[in-house]
Amino acid sequence: MLKGKEIILGVTGGIAAYKAVELLRLLTKAGANVHVIMTDSATEFVTPLTFQTLSMNPVSTSLFNLISEREIGHISLADRADLFIITPATANIVGKLAGGIADDMLTTTVMATKAPILVAPAMNVNMYQNPIYKANEEKLKSHGYLFVEPAKGMLACGWEGEGKLQEPRVIFEEALAALSPKDLTGERVLVTAGPTREELDPIRFISNYSSGKMGYAVAIAARRRGAQVTLVTGPACLDEPWGVDTVQVVSTENMREVVIKKAAESTIVIKSAAVADYRPKSRTGEKIKKNAEPLVLELVKNPDILGELGKTKGDRLLVGFAAETGDLLANAAKKLMEKNLDMVVANEIGLEGAGFNVDTNIVKLLFRDGRKEDLPLMGKIELADVILDRIVEIRKQARGARC
């Protein structure tokens, strides 16, 4: 998503300036071409050489430092930018921008750009709560500036409270959101992910190989595109996505309880969880001890959560997943009809690069009107965006049909 994007990273003079180095790494690793502009006081905290080495671009520190004889540095950078990030942003830079002051390379470039501007403030808690600062932030927001609100915690000045720079991975996530289309604004998207676990005793359970990566990718992509997202996830070793309301569950019955409740407030449900269809008839409170006899487990059927949602579908858009080891299209089409879905994402387990526990997938999409789409091998985040593109199309068609 950041491949070929031109990003300006403005760094101002705060102790958190070193975190801008980590953000720069994340941006360049994702393929962005980053130009760093530092204020004079920022150079007291981190040297321009650090940013220059990592960005592989000259670092601008002075208004009169022209990039070439014919180009005026700040105008040329401002024109080329797809996104402008200021991190850490001091109370001083926010005040200057709100006041329209352009007296150095950073402020003049901000004034000259038409790119979205993302500001990540960091300062002492009393400065952050100062009504003058608050008014300046509100003014910039009213002009379309985006803010990554600071975190609470121990501040460098010794105070505890709001004002700590957000983690670079959060600012990175907000940068991706700033560059995403907002075509899911107003939608409340419920996503399920991961495996479920059915416990036999306090230390053993039945589960499957699902890593949760596909569902997490869908939740992340939907939030970037403006949706309000709830993720209901079985046990997965993944970080909770920033900005997503995440509910952790364990068993299929736990998942059912949360999903049925949350689905009532959702406009779109995407069920990518690999749900256990059966659970042990009973769970023992004590560890099952071995003896000379074979152990026979009796399993009972779990509720079909998606099937249940299909029965009370209404205007809600329902998307299911079908992981199969044979007869992919026939099995997926059957699930589409039987569970009353709008779309099924079908994948054949066993294909290299597809299915559980990998970062890529190869799927076929099946739609209610009989259309099918074959997608090539792609990253799960990329696939999440294709799934959401199709959801947006289905929404548009439905609106068109009603008019």
List the catalytic residues: 157
Return the SS3 of 13.
Answer: coil
Task: Tell the burial category of 273 from Cβ atoms under 10 Å away from its Cβ (0-12, 13-18, 19+).
Answer: buried
Report, in Å, the least distance between residue 348 CB and ligand CTP.
12
Cβ atoms 246, 168 nearer than 8 A: no
Minimum distance from residue 232 beta carbon to ligand CTP (Å):
11
Query: Residue 254 Cβ, how far from ligand CTP at the closest point, in Å?
Result: 12
Enumerate residues 228-267 that contact ligand CTP by CB under 6 A.
252
Q: Which amino acid makes up residue 314?
A: G
Q: Chain-centre distance of CA 222, in angstroms?
A: 7
Give the one residue of 249, 322, 328, 384 binding ligand CTP; rule: CB under 6 A.
322
Distance in angstroms (rounded) separating the CA atoms of residues 346 and 277: 18
165 contacts ligand CTP (rule: CB under 6 A):
no
Stretch that binds ligand CTP, among 82-90, 241-249, 314-322, 385-393 (CB under 6 A): 314-322
Q: Let me know: does 12 contact 88? Beta carbons within 8 Å.
A: yes
The residue (of 218 and 306) whose beta carbon lies closer to ligand CTP is 306
Does residue 335 belong to the site contacting ligand CTP (CB under 6 A)?
A: yes
The residue from 146, 148, 305, 388 that contacts ligand CTP (CB under 6 A) is 305
Strand partners, 146: 118
Find the part of the chain contacting ligand CTP (CB under 6 A) among 86-94, 100-108, 168-176, 273-281.
Answer: 273-281
Q: Which stretch binds ligand CTP (CB under 6 A): 15-23, 137-145, 286-294, 317-325?
A: 317-325
Least distance between ligand CTP and beta carbon 175 (Å): 31
197 binds ligand CTP (CB under 6 A): no
Tell me the closest approach of the beta carbon of residue 191 to ligand CTP, in angstroms.
Answer: 10
Rounded distance between C-alpha atoms, residue 392 and residue 124, angstroms: 43
By beta-carbon proximity to ligand CTP, the closer residue of 45 and 278 is 278
User: Smallest distance from the beta carbon of 269 to ligand CTP, in angstroms?
Assistant: 9
Of 346, 343, 342, 372, nearest to 361 (Cα)? 346
Tokens of 322: 């079908």
Under the binding rule (CB under 6 A), the answer on residue 128 touching ligand CTP is: no
Q: Measured between alpha carbons, how far is 317 from 309 in angstroms, rounded to an integer?
A: 10
For ligand CTP, which residue of 323, 328, 343, 387 counts as binding (CB under 6 A)? 323
Q: Is 273 in the site for ligand CTP (CB under 6 A)?
A: yes
What's the CA gap between 250 and 259, in Å, rounded?
A: 13
Measured in residues, the chain has a length of 403
The answer to whether residue 302 forms part of the interface with ligand CTP (CB under 6 A) is yes
Residue 87 sits in the site that holds ligand CTP (CB under 6 A): no
> Considering the rule CB under 6 A, would residue 320 count as an interface residue with ligand CTP?
yes
Q: Does 216 help bind ligand CTP (rule: CB under 6 A)?
A: no
Q: Closest separation between CB of residue 81 and ligand CTP, Å? A: 41
The answer to the question of residue 277 lying near ligand CTP (CB under 6 A) is yes
Only one of the segments 36-44, 70-78, 240-248, 300-308 lies at the binding site for ligand CTP (rule: CB under 6 A); that segment is: 300-308
Under rule CB under 6 A, residue 306 binds ligand CTP: yes
Give the residue carrying structure tokens 């091998």.
377
Shortest reach from residue 149's CB to ligand CTP, in Å: 34
Cβ-based nearer residue to ligand CTP, 116 or 280: 280
Give the side-chain half-sphere CA count within 13 A for 124.
Answer: 7
Q: Which two tokens stand for residue 248?
A: 């952790």
Stretch that binds ligand CTP, among 14-22, 88-96, 115-123, 318-326 (CB under 6 A): 318-326
Total interface residues for ligand CTP by CB under 6 A: 14
Out of 258, 275, 387, 388, name the contact with ligand CTP by CB under 6 A: 275
Question: Residues 382, 376: contact at Cβ < 8 Å?
Answer: no
51 within 8 A of 72, measured Cβ to Cβ: no
Residue 52 identity (one-letter amino acid): Q
Spatial contact of 230 and 190, defined as CB atoms under 8 Å apart:
yes
CB 383 within 8 A of CB 377: no
DSSP label at residue 46: S
By CB under 6 A, tell whether 148 contacts ligand CTP.
no
Cα separation of 189 and 269, whole Å? 6
Q: What is the 3-state secondary structure (H, E, C) of 215-256?
A: HHHHHHHHHHCCCEEEEEECCCCCCCCCCCEEEECCCHHHHH
Half-sphere exposure of 130 (CA within 13 A, CB side): 15
- Return residues touching ligand CTP (CB under 6 A): 252, 271, 273, 275, 277, 302, 304-306, 320-323, 335
